[in-house]
Every structure is written in structure tokens, then in C-alpha cells.
Structure 1
């Protein structure tokens, strides 16, 4: 039970993404960081000093943080191979958690977690952050209201460029299969899968291909070349609910793309296009008069579609879950689709989603 109106957060993992979470926490009166955990002692103390965290509340062991009686809820930003372990420990100690995507390293871990979770459920949110992009939320509402008529097909892309050879990106954990599981697919593709489920519906089947473009990268520690066994590129066709076809492309080797996550939805009466790099704009083409044709216009998205991701987490912990909050089962289903995509790419066959 939360002892007061402020939810004391235990933050696990203090790398780059933790900075964004720390900022979001600071924006909400309901949340306060009380405990930290990281294996990097120097980083732990640097962040601890900035946040004013008592030395006794700085941990190197994540179970020590999770089991701490002063921790009301956990936010975890750790590499993929630890995702399942953190959720498992939170189930064990009955602590609410905001976990990062992908949900787990593989679907086998997801199935094991599901069995544990169903015996001892906890408030669990998964960090599918693009549900909180205002233009994506507005597009979803327009689709639900039937503004573009019956949805016929969907195109989703998530393109970045940091993995392209010219940038000589070293062999960091995102390229190391035991730590990351997959490459672009789990890193970026998980977001594509979630936004399609959020806007349109469940996946029925997938047909996929995956490729690795850069087969060796230099270790930043030893300087030796290390083999890359994860994908730089993934594309897949899918059939969504109501037999809606959709195509997806993701890569970290797209020169000129910074963080280009975009969705185009085609309906009988019009088309919507959104891009996370323009969070307060939506491109709309709706037929008003078929005799005059139709063209795209760019509309500003109202601030009413803005919602802070951690506000939903605070509400979830407080027992007031909001519609659309990505929960445990969203993470589980996402991991199942990822598994079927890998299976399809390896077999060269279309794979049904259970």
C-alpha cells in the first residue's frame, strides 16, 4: 500500500534513457524518486547527488531496491536481457512497475512471466511511449470516429541512421545478441507493432524478412572486431483485425532519418499521416466532394491530446488505470508478434498469430 499521496519511485538503470524519465518524474507532483540502482558506482553517485538521494538508498543490486520497504513503485530502464528479471522480481515482491520495451528478450521469457503474473498480478505498464505522441492519439480518435471511413490498409515505418557504416558505430550492447535479443526489430519494430495494435487492432498473421548489413563492429573496450548477429533491417507484411493489410519497415541504416516513426492509414473516405518528429501536426486528406478531388492539408493538433506517459503510470499505481495504458498483456502480445516475425523471416513462410 502507498503510505501517502506521493508515490516513492525506485529507479533502476541510470543510463541515457533514465534522464528522460527523471525529467518526466520531476513534472508530476504524484511521483518522487527515493531510491536508485545501477551497477556503475560512479554514475550511481553522480545521479544520487543530483537527486539528493541518501547513500543508504543507492543500490547496486536491483532486488535490494525492489524489496526495499520505502519503494512504492519501480521504473526500470535496463538492457533487454534484464527486462524479464526485473518484472519477475516485482511480481515476487508485489511492486508496481513501468518496464521498458521490448517486453522480454524472447517469447519463452514472456510465457514464463505470464504464468507468474497470473498467479500474483501487479500493476504493470510497458514503456510504449509513442502512445503518448499527441498526433498519434488524435489519429486514433479520428479512426475510431470513422472520419476516414472503413480502414483499408496501413503503412508503418520506423527509420534511424546511427547504424549506417559511415558513422562507425561501435559494438555496444544493442548489437550484442545475448544482451539485446534482436536488433532493429526489437528496438524499433516493437514500437511499430504496438502503435498498430493501439490504432488499428490485433495481428492475425505476419510474413517477414530480416537482414544484417554491417557484420562486424569494433569493440569500444578491446578494439577488436566483433561479429554482429542481430538485424539491421526488418520488414514485414501483416494482416490485422478485420483483415486489414499492413506493411512495416524498420532499419537503423537509413541515412537522413533521425528518429522517423511514421504511420499512414488509408480509409474509404480519406488518409491520415502522422510522424513522431512532428508531434503536434497531422496530415489529413478527406474527400469532401468527390467531384473536386481531395488533397492533403496539415492540421495543428490540440494540446488536449497531450498526456504525460508517467501520469498514466501514477494513475495505474493509484488504482485508476486510464484507457489505452499499455499494460502487461500489451507487452506479452507484442513479444508474441516479435517471435512470429522472427519465425517467419527464418522459415520464409507466412506465420499465423495465435
Structure 2
């Protein structure tokens, strides 16, 4: 594929998250949305009209879109139980892919995909979008430059409130284990795991606790109460690379939290605090000259740490992978840690 070629993209899944992907595709001259896929014919037609995609490029079957010779790259925004199917088909048809997290429904699926991928690798990006928050990228560079000395421990949280009883959130696929694999752990915790790997390094061991607070939710279609069989809360402690200790908490029932993914990194000579809700600033606690004791100061993130995930995807597709791009390997490793957390909680 030549440097300036326009890449023809097929989008699978037209739910809420797809709107953001469609927006980003439209902003990049080197990408063109040419095909869409969804089981909902009404939504398929609606989006097709908005994007001016003809009926011959509106698919209800995933394989039909991936196999289409006019589609050169795939963006997948489907429920977790379909992630492995999409990845497997993209490997079979050798189509570059951007897939949402978590990587698969479970680690068994991830292991099977790894065998296929080793034989026929493809450009594959996993949607660990917090790698593209400027403050997270800046923090990573400060750690590399040893600005706070040897890292000793980290505290990582991802809290949302939408699952709390107060809001009476209806039953959806995310509350069903067969469709999602896990609840808050896979949905939010996967991002915590990736942030730890991105900033610190690999996981060595975990000890976990998981719980469900609301055991039934009302089906918005039938009106009946349906059983929730996934977690609303997960916490775990971990030993990371270089014996860095980690404490992790995620919950959908944290009233007062919007989309609160934040990280505290504690080193011998200072502390870094970052929060995705404040993407352009970072809090540093580093002792300044003539100070008796260090104190937190808010610092603006330099512009050079601003980068679009889609640019890295373009580079990946064109054979110019950038350092830090979340790839197939990162998805696989993330799923492995998720499996270890689930096993620990069950034991």
C-alpha cells in the first residue's frame, strides 16, 4: 500500500460507539468509509443514508463485509462475544483491523487466535484509547526520563456511576456473561490493565476480589426483570515489572464519578497524578530547589504529546508501526491478565 493511498474502511457494528469512529474516519483524508454491517436493518439503512453508502455495501453478515474485495481495512465495534470471530475472519482474509477491547470474551479464545495470528499476522490495533490521552503519554515520558526516580507503587482507578441503583439502568448485553464475559472488569478494568502495562510494564501476579451489587435489571423490551451474572465491581492488587506494587479498583456504582480513569505513580523522588477527565494537565509532586518538602503543582501538558489513535492505525496499516501502538500482542496480554484476575477472585 502506497504512502498516500486512500484506505477503504468497513465498519462492523453501528451502536453508540460507532458514532465516534465514523466521526474520526470522516476527519482523515486517507480514510474512506465504504461499507457498513449491523444486524439491525433499520439502523443499517439509517447510517447508510447518512454516510451515502449504497445498499450493495450494507451488510448484515460480518463475513460478507470482511470478504468484500473493495474493503481494505476493518473497524469493529461489536459486543465482546463477537470480537474473536471478527479477528479470526480478518486473519483469514488478511484484512487490517482496529478492534474494541476487551480483546476476546475469554482467554481460551485469545489463545486460539494467537495460534492463527502467528501463522498469518495482520496489522491489528486494539482500542486501548487511553494511550492517546496527552497526560498519559507525558507521564510515560517522565517515567522514562526518571523524573521521579525508581517507581515503587501505583494506584489506578476507573470509576463510573451509571450502574448505581439510583439511575435504574436497564438490562443490556453488558450485564450478560455470555455476551460480555465480565462486567466492570472487562469494560473498565481492561483499560486499567493497559494503562499499567503502558506506563510501568508487565504483570507478574495478581490477587483479586469481584462483586455484583445489583443482581436483577429490567429488560427495556419485555419489562421483565433479568438476572445480572457479571461483576459491578472489581479490585485487585498486583506485582508488576521491576517489583512495582499496584492497587486497582473499578466500579460502575461510584456515584459522583463520570468517567474517572486516574493514575497515581509513586517514585523515590516524587509522584505523578493523571486523570483522563483532565487530559491536558498533569499534577507533579517533585521537590524544587530550596523547598523543605515537595508539593503538588499542576502543569500543562506540552503540545507534542497530543496524538490521534487513528494516525497510529494508518501507520500500522501502511507498515510503519509507531512505538506504543496497542497491537494484537497487547490485546492478548491484557486478556491473559483478565483471566488471572477472574481465577484469583473465584479462588
Give me the TM-score of the superposition, normalised by structure 1: 0.96
Question: CA–CA distance in 2 between the matches of 1:141 and 1:168?
Answer: 42
Q: Partner of 1:15 in structure 2?
A: 15
CA deviations over 1:190-248 (Å, ceiling 9, x no partner): 00000100000000000000000001111111111111110000000000000000000
Contact preservation (8 Å) 1:24, 1:308: no
Alignment of 1:136-285 (within 5 A): 136-285=136-285
Alignment of 1:90-169 (within 5 A): 90-169=90-169
Contact preservation (8 Å) 1:185, 1:231: yes
CA deviations over 1:97-155 (Å, ceiling 9, x no partner): 00110000000000000001111111111000000000000000000100011101000
Q: Partner of 1:84 in structure 2?
A: 84
Structure 1 position 288, deviation (Å): 2.4
Contact preservation (8 Å) 2:4, 2:30: no
Structure 1, unmatched stretches of 5+, are 348-354
Alignment of 1:31-42 (within 5 A): 31-42=31-42
Structure 1 position 294, deviation (Å): 0.8
Give me the TM-score of the superposition, normalised by structure 2: 0.98
Give the alignment's Cα RMSD to 1 decimal. 1.1
Structure 1 position 289, deviation (Å): 4.0
Question: CA–CA distance in 2 between the matches of 1:303 and 1:221?
Answer: 47
Question: CA–CA distance in 1 between the matches of 2:220 and 2:31?
Answer: 37
Question: CA–CA distance in 2 between the matches of 1:38 and 1:229?
Answer: 26
Question: CA–CA distance in 1 between the matches of 2:182 and 2:236?
Answer: 15
Contact preservation (8 Å) 1:2, 1:72: no
Structure 2, unmatched stretches of 5+, are none
4+ residue runs of structure 1 moved beyond 2 angstroms? 1-4, 288-291
Question: CA–CA distance in 2 between the matches of 1:174 and 1:14?
Answer: 16
Residue 3 to residue 278, structure 1, CA distance change in 2 (3 Å) = closer
CA deviations over 1:274-299 (Å, ceiling 9, x no partner): 00000001000101247521100001
